C-alpha cells in the first residue's frame, strides 16, 4: 500500500457536449419548422386549387343561369312575333290582353316593355296616320327628312305604366345600337340582341344600361327573310341589372360579376357588381386582390358577351380552407414540443454526464478516504478474500498481531486465532454477512505467544470486477477493556450488596417511623386527654373556688392541649403523605377546584369571593394526594383573603404548562418564600390567621413525590401565587 495519497483524477468535463446537444436540438426545431411550413404550404396550395375549382364550377353555373334567362326572353319575343304573324295587325287592346296574360311583372321583372315597332319610311307616314287613327303618337315623332331611311316606330308597348306611357311613336332606329340589331334581325330572319344602350326614353349619357331583343315580323305567308315583306319588329326592353338579379336570385354566390359586350372589340359594359374591382385590383395589396379571376364567353343572338368573375380576396379564401390555421398552429406547437423534448433530452444527457463525472470523482475520493481511514486508523483493519486470506492490512493490524503488515498479506486470518476458535466462527460469519455486519469477540495469539482478547467486526466489501475482496474485518484489542469491565462488574456486585443493605436499613427506618407515628397517635394522646379532661372537671366542679385568674389558666391549659392534639394530627397526616403508595390516574383539576370552591363557600356563606378556574386542567398523579394539595393551596388562599373587600382566587395554567393558584390576599415578603414550605414555619400570628404551619409543607411533599417542583411568588398586601409543575408520566421514586 502506498504511503502517500495521490490526488484523484480530474473528471472529464461534460460541458463540452452541452453545446453539441443544444445545437442538435436547434437543428431539430429548424427542421421540424421547415417540414411544418412545407406541409402547410402544400396544404394551402391544395386548398387554393380546390377553392379555384369550386370558383370555376360556380361560374359555370352562373353562366348557365344567365343563358337560361336569355332563352326565356327568346321564347317571350317569339311568342309576340307569332301573334303578329297570325293576325293582319293586332289592335292595341288585343296586344295588351296578350301581354297581361303573360304575367310579365311577376315572371319577367327585368323586362321593361314588350312591344311592336312598325317598319315605315317617310312616304308611308301620312298613310299610317290615316290607317291607325287610334294611335297616340308621342312628342318625339322622328324627323322624316331622309326619304330613303328605314324607321321603326313603336306602335304599342305593354305594360303601359311608368316610362312606357310615352313610348308610342318613338323611332327605335334612332339609336345606332338598336338600329344595328334591327337591321341584322331583318336581314337574317333571326332574333338579335342590341349592344348595351340607355333606356328608350332616356338621354344618351344616362348611366343605366339595358339591351333590346328584336324578332323580325314578315308578311303572312312569307317564309324567308325578304326586306320587302318586312312588317316590323317585336321587341322587349330588358334592364341589364334586373336581368342579372332575376337570373341569380335563387343562387348564392360569393364572387363578383361583370358582363361586357365584346362583339365589336370595344368592350361595352353591360352590367357590373358594385364591388367588382376589375382594373382597380392592381392598385391594392396582394392580400386584398381577388384570389381568382375567370372570364367566360356567352354567345347570344349574334353578340358575344364576356362574363368576368372575381373571387374573394386571397386572405378570405385562405380562411375558408378547412384546417389550414389549425394545421399551422398544431405544427408550430408540435415543433416547439419536439424542440422541448430534444432540449430536455440534451440537458438530461448533459446532467447525466456531469453526474457520472461527479460520481466517478466521488468514487475516487471515497476510495482515497477509505484507504486513508484504513491506513491511519488506530483499529486494526484487513481486507479478506473469499477464502479468508488477508489481501491488505493496515499498520494497526500488524501492531495487534505483532507482525509487519506486509508479512500478513497472503496469510489466513484463522491462523492467528487460538486453535479451533476461528474454524467454528466461519459458518456463523458467512450467514451473518449476508444480512449485514457481524460482530464477535475472540482470542488472538500474537507472534510473541501472548494471547489477547480482540473484538472482530466483519462487513461485506464488494470489489471491482476481477478483484477478490470479499469482506473487511476490523480487529480491536479489547483485553484491557475486558479487564476493566471485570473490575467494574466486581464493583457493581459490591455496590448491589451495599444497596441491599441500605434498603434494609431504610425499611427498618420506615418501620421505626411507623412505630413512632403509632406512639404519637396513641401514647401521646392519652396524657393530652387526661390534661384536657381533668382541666375541664376542675373548671366545672370548682368554678366557685377558683378565682378569675385560675379560670383563665385552666382555659389556657385546655387550649394548649387542643392545639397539641391538632399538631399531632397534622404530623400524622404529613407522615402519611410521605409514606403512602402512589396510585397514578388522570385527574381533572378543574372539576376538583370547583368542588373545593363550593365547600369553601358552604363553610362561610357570608363571604363573597370570586373564583376564576380555567377549564381543561388535567394532571397525572395520585387523586387523593392531589386533592390534599389543592385543598391546602385553595384553603390558604381562602384564609388569607379574609380581609380583602373584593377577594379573588384564580386557578389556571401558564404558558410553560405549570399549574398555579393565585389570590389577592395578604401576600408575603419575597425573602420569606423558602420559609413557607418548612413544617411549623409561620409568617403570621395565630390571632391573625389560624393554622398549624403544616399545610404548605404537605403540599411540597406531594409535588416532590410526583417528581415535580413548587415555588411561591408574592408581595405584601398584593396577594400570593403558588406555581407547581407535575410530570405527564409517573416518576420512579
Q: pLDDT by residue (tens digit) across 596-612?
A: 999 888 888 888 889 99
Judge whether 472 and 384 are in contact, CB under 8 Å. yes
How far is 481 from 454, CA to CA, in rounded Å?
10
The pLDDT value recorded for residue 661 is: 92
How many Cβ atoms are within 10 Å of 271's Cβ, its own excluded?
23
Which three cell numbers mark 322?
Answer: 378547412
- Cα dihedral 389/394/400/405 (nearest 10): 70
Taking CA atoms, 191 is separated from 185, 188, 235, 268, 366, in Å, by 6, 8, 10, 20, 111
The CATH number assigned to the domain holding 719 equals: 3.30.565.10
The pLDDT value recorded for residue 220 is: 76
Please check whether residues 75 and 102 belong to one and the same domain: no
- Non-local (6+) Cβ contacts of 281 within 8 A are 289, 290, 310
Taking CA atoms, 523 is separated from 518, 536, 565, in Å, by 8, 21, 12
How far is 243 from 66, CA to CA, in rounded Å?
8
Please check whether residues 425 and 350 belong to one and the same domain: no
How many Cβ atoms are within 10 Å of 487's Cβ, its own excluded?
10
Please check whether residues 606 and 671 belong to one and the same domain: yes
Residues of the chain with pLDDT under 50: 1-12, 14, 136, 138-148, 421, 424, 732
- First-last CA distance in the chain: 59
Please check whether residues 19 and 31 belong to one and the same domain: yes
The pLDDT value recorded for residue 147 is: 40
The pLDDT value recorded for residue 537 is: 76
Query: Strand 647-653 vs strand 609-613: parallel, antiparallel, or unpaired?
Result: parallel
Residue 190 lies in a domain: yes
Residue 732 lies in a domain: no
- Domain extent for 546: 525-578
Please check whether residues 159 and 130 belong to one and the same domain: yes
Please check whether residues 106 and 236 belong to one and the same domain: yes
Residue 491 lies in a domain: no
The CATH number assigned to the domain holding 243 equals: 3.30.450.350
Residue 699 lies in a domain: yes
Q: Which of 560, 576, 481, 467 has the alpha carbon at shortest distance from 521?
A: 576
Residue 2 lies in a domain: no
Please check whether residues 669 and 638 belong to one and the same domain: yes
Number of domains in the chain: 6
Please check whether residues 453 and 600 belong to one and the same domain: no
The pLDDT value recorded for residue 659 is: 93
- Non-local (6+) Cβ contacts of 699 within 8 A are 628, 629, 632, 633, 677, 710, 722, 724
Q: Which of 279, 297, 316 is a domain's end point? A: 316
Q: Which class for 196: exposed (0-12), middle (13-18), buried (19 or more C-beta within 10 A)?
A: buried
The pLDDT value recorded for residue 614 is: 92
Please check whether residues 22 and 101 belong to one and the same domain: no
The pLDDT value recorded for residue 37 is: 86
Which phi and psi angles does 610 have, rounded to 5°? -90, 130
Please check whether residues 296 and 341 belong to one and the same domain: no
DSSP class of 653:
E
From edge to edge, which strands make up the β-sheet containing 471-477? 390-393, 380-384, 471-477, 451-460, 438-445
Question: Over the stretch 672-707, which tens digit does the pLDDT of each residue have?
Answer: 666 777 666 555 555 555 555 667 777 888 888 888
3-class SS of residue 567 = helix
Which three cell numbers mark 676?
Answer: 413557607
Taking CA atoms, 688 is separated from 424, 454, 640, 693, 717, in Å, by 86, 77, 9, 13, 14
Q: Which of 578, 596, 612 is a domain's end point? A: 578
How many Cβ atoms are within 10 Å of 37's Cβ, its own excluded?
14
* pTM exceeds 0.85, yes or no: no
Amino acid at each position: 500500500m502506498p504511503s502517500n495519497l495521490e490526488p484523484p483524477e480530474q473528471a472529464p468535463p461534460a460541458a463540452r457536449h452541452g453545446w453539441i446537444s443544444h445545437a442538435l436540438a436547434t437543428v431539430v426545431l429548424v427542421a421540424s419548422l421547415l417540414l411544418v411550413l412545407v406541409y402547410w404550404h402544400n396544404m394551402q396550395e391544395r386548398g387554393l386549387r380546390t377553392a379555384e375549382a369550386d370558383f370555376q364550377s360556380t361560374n359555370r353555373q352562373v353562366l348557365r343561369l344567365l343563358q337560361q334567362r336569355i332563352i326565356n326572353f327568346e321564347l317571350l319575343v317569339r311568342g309576340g312575333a307569332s301573334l303578329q304573324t297570325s293576325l293582319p295587325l293586332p289592335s292595341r287592346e288585343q296586344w295588351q290582353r296578350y301581354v297581361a296574360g303573360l304575367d310579365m311583372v311577376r315572371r319577367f321583372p327585368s323586362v321593361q316593355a314588350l312591344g311592336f315597332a312598325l317598319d315605315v319610311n317617310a312616304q308611308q307616314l301620312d298613310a299610317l296616320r290615316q290607317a291607325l287613327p287610334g294611335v297616340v303618337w308621342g312628342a318625339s315623332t322622328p324627323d322624316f327628312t331622309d326619304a330613303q331611311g328605314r324607321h321603326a316606330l313603336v306602335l304599342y308597348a305593354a305594360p303601359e305604366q311608368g316610362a312606357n306611357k310615352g313610348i308610342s311613336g318613338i323611332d327605335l332606329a334612332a339609336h345606332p345600337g338598336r338600329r344595328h340589331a334591327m337591321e341584322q334581325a331583318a336581314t337574317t330572319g333571326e332574333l338579335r340582341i342590341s349592344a348595351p344602350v340607355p333606356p328608350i326614353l332616356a338621354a344618351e349619357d344616362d348611366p343605366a344600361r339595358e339591351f333590346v331583343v328584336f324578332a323580325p315580323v314578315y308578311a303572312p305567308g312569307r317564309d324567308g327573310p325578304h326586306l320587302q315583306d318586312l312588317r316590323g319588329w317585336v321587341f322587349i326592353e330588358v334592364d341589364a341589372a334586373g336581368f342579372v338579379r332575376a337570373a341569380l336570385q335563387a343562387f348564392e354566390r360569393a364572387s363578383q360579376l361583370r358582363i361586357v359586350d365584346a362583339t365589336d372589340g370595344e368592350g361595352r359594359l353591360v352590367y357590373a357588381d358594385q364591388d367588382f374591382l376589375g382594373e382597380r385590383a392592381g392598385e391594392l395589396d396582394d392580400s386584398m386582390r381577388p384570389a381568382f379571376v375567370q372570364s367566360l364567353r356567352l354567345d347570344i343572338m349574334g353578340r358575344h358577351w364576356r362574363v368576368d368573375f372575381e373571387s374573394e380576396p386571397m386572405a378570405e379564401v385562405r380562411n375558408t380552407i378547412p384546417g389550414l390555421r389549425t394545421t399551422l398552429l398544431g405544427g408550430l406547437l408540435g415543433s416547439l414540443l419536439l424542440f422541448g423534448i430534444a432540449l430536455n433530452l440534451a440537458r438530461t444527457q448533459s446532467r447525466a454526464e456531469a453526474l457520472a463525472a461527479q460520481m466517478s470523482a466521488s468514487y475516487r475520493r471515497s476510495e482515497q478516504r477509505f484507504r486513508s481511514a484504513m491506513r491511519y486508523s488506530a483499529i486494526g483493519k484487513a481486507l479478506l478474500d473469499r477464502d479468508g486470506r488477508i489481501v491488505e492490512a493496515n499498520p494497526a493490524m500488524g501492531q495487534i498481531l505483532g507482525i509487519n503488515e506486509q508479512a500478513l498479506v497472503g496469510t489466513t486470518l484463522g491462523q492467528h486465532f487460538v486453535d479451533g476458535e476461528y474454524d467454528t466462527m466461519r459458518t456463523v460469519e458467512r450467514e451473518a454477512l449476508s444480512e449485514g455486519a457481524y460482530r464477535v469477540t475472540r482470542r488472538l495469539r500474537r507472534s510473541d505467544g501472548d494471547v489477547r482478547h480482540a473484538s472482530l467486526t466483519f462487513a461485506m466489501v464488494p470489489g471491482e470486477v476481477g478483484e477478490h475482496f470479499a469482506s473487511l474485518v476490523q480487529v480491536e484489542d479489547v483485553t484491557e477493556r475486558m479487564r476493566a469491565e471485570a473490575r467494574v462488574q466486581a464493583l457493581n456486585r459490591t455496590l448491589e450488596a451495599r444497596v441491599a443493605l441500605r434498603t434494609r436499613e431504610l425499611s427498618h427506618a420506615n418501620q421505626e417511623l411507623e412505630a413512632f407515628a403509632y406512639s404519637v397517635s396513641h401514647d401521646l394522646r392519652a396524657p393530652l386527654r387526661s390534661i384536657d379532661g381533668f382541666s375541664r372537671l376542675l373548671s366545672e366542679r370548682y368554678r366557685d373556688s377558683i378565682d378569675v385568674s385560675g379560670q383563665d389558666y385552666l382555659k389556657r391549659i385546655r387550649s394548649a392541649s387542643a392545639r397539641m392534639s391538632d399538631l399531632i394530627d397534622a404530623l400524622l397526616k404529613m407522615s402519611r403523605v410521605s409514606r403512602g403508595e402512589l396510585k397514578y390516574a388522570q385527574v381533572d383539576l378543574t372539576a376538583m377546584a370547583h368542588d373545593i370552591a363550593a365547600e369553601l363557600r358552604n363553610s362561610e356563606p357570608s363571604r363573597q369571593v370570586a373564583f376564576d378556574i380555567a377549564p381543561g386542567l388535567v394532571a397525572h398523579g395520585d387523586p387523593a394526594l392531589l386533592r390534599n394539595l389543592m385543598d391546602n393551596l385553595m384553603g390558604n388562599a381562602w384564609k388569607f383573603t379574609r380581609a380583602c373587600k373584593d377577594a379573588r382566587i384564580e386557578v389556571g395554567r401558564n404558558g410553560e404548562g405549570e399549574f398555579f393558584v393565585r389570590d389577592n390576599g395578604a401576600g408575603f415578603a419575597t425573602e420569606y418564600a423558602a420559609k413557607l414550605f418548612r413544617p411549623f414555619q409561620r409568617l403570621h400570628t395565630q390571632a391573625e390567621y389560624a393554622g398549624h404551619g403544616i399545610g404548605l409543607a404537605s403540599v411540597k411533599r406531594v409535588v416532590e413525590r410526583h417528581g415535580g417542583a413548587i415555588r411561591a411568588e408574592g408581595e405584601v398586601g398584593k396577594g400570593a401565587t403558588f406555581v407547581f409543575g407535575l410530570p405527564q408520566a409517573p416518576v420512579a421514586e
